Amino acid sequence: MDRRAFLATVGGGLLAAPLAVEAQSPPPIRRIGVIGGTDPDLVEARKEGLRRLGWLEGQNVVVERLPLGDDSRLAQELARLQIEVIIASTNPYIASAKAATTTIPIVMVYADDPVRQGYVASLARPGGNITGVVTDAGLALEGKGFELLRQAIPTASRIAYLSPRESRMLVPATEAAKKLGVLIIPALVEAPHQEPEYRRAFAAIAQDRADALVVGVGGENASQRRLIIELAAQGRLPAIYPRRAYAEQGGLMSYGPDNSELTRRAAAALARILSGTNPGDIPIYQPTRFEFVINLKTAKALGITVPELLLARADEMIE
């Protein structure tokens, strides 16, 4: 072998060695920040959704809990932790994340009317740094809850409606009650993530002699789900809820989006962002699949005989 051939061979080997080592090195760990979303079901759903797409917490993804309530502190933490994507649950925390950064992608979960709130330009073309899923399917969803509850309790003439005060759903809920010929009793909470507000609301519901209860859609109520179910049981108040988890944990009935589908959609949006897609180019998912669940054990405890026609409409009955 001549000298030039020898040097070329050795040089090629030296250059190839680092490339081989680099090829064998593990991929970088991605860093996701989470704000809000303390609901255990949501936490597990996030993990499962990521797992299905190959993102394993603690292996190739690190999830950091972000501070609540102080936008300037949140912005500092985003920089310090080198967060690449934020998962923000419910409107107050989505707003906080949006105020803290205009560059880091944000995936919304349990968002309510993000266009009206000013988070995105439209559901089809969000623009900016925000995408995700919404939990409501438009203004007709609350009306469906009133309809199903009235069918279960035909004698109910005074129906309470539990919702954050700023919810846009209060108007369609009032209209739905009026069409059914029942009186709506608004039970509006000022600080929807705080337990005392819900205890105050249920005390007012009892004072107003409500016959039944519709729990409004939104993550604010979901964050106090167990308390709401408990207070409804204490007041022997038949209620319909916006997520199947309520019925699974003792609520009388639930009608709402298929949350496993919402989780898959949110995880898919997150995976696309981690792969380099601009969040503003990812359409926001609005649910099209709904589940109607009846807890027969709770119906029996309340002394309610659910009509056969309503039982036939149920996607699932819990006994």
Q: Which residue has the higher pLDDT, 133 or 46?
A: 133
Split at pLDDT 50, 70, 90, the class of 164 is: confident
Split at pLDDT 50, 70, 90, the class of 278 is: very high
CATH topology identical between 30-136+259-281 and 140-257+290-318? yes
Query: Which of the residue ranges 26-30, 35-39, 151-155, 285-289 has the most confident prediction, judged by mean pLDDT?
Result: 151-155
CA dihedral over 30, 36, 38, 41, signed as positive or negative? negative
Kindly give the pairing relationship between strand 212-215 and strand 183-189: unpaired
Q: Domain coordinates of the chain in residue numbers? A: 30-136+259-281, 140-257+290-318
The CATH class for the domain spanning 140-257+290-318 reads: alpha beta
Per-residue confidence (pLDDT) for residue 16, from 0 to 100 = 44
Q: How far is CA 5 from CA 16, 20, 242, 292, in A?
A: 16, 22, 74, 76
Per-residue confidence (pLDDT) for residue 55, from 0 to 100 = 81
Split at pLDDT 50, 70, 90, the class of 224 is: confident
CB 298 within 8 A of CB 250: yes
Buried b (16+ CB within 10 A) or exposed e, 87-116: bbbbbbbbebbbebbeebbbbbbbbbbbee
Look-up of token digits 């997520």: 243
**pLDDT at 267 > cutoff 90:** no
**pLDDT at 101 > cutoff 70:** yes
**pLDDT at 11 > cutoff 50:** no
Computed over every residue of the chain, the mean pLDDT equals 85
| Average pLDDT estimate for 131-159 | 86
pLDDT tens string 228-257: 999 999 999 999 998 888 999 999 999 988
Per-residue confidence (pLDDT) for residue 6, from 0 to 100 = 37
pLDDT tens string 22-66: 555 666 788 999 988 666 666 776 777 778 778 888 888 888 888
Per-residue confidence (pLDDT) for residue 167, from 0 to 100 = 73
Could you give the strand order of the β-sheet that contains 61-65, starting from the edge strand earlier in sequence? 61-65, 30-35, 85-89, 106-111, 130-134
| 46 closest CA partner among 130, 117, 133 | 133
Per-residue confidence (pLDDT) for residue 285, from 0 to 100 = 93
Q: Does domain 30-136+259-281 have CATH number 3.60.15.10?
A: no
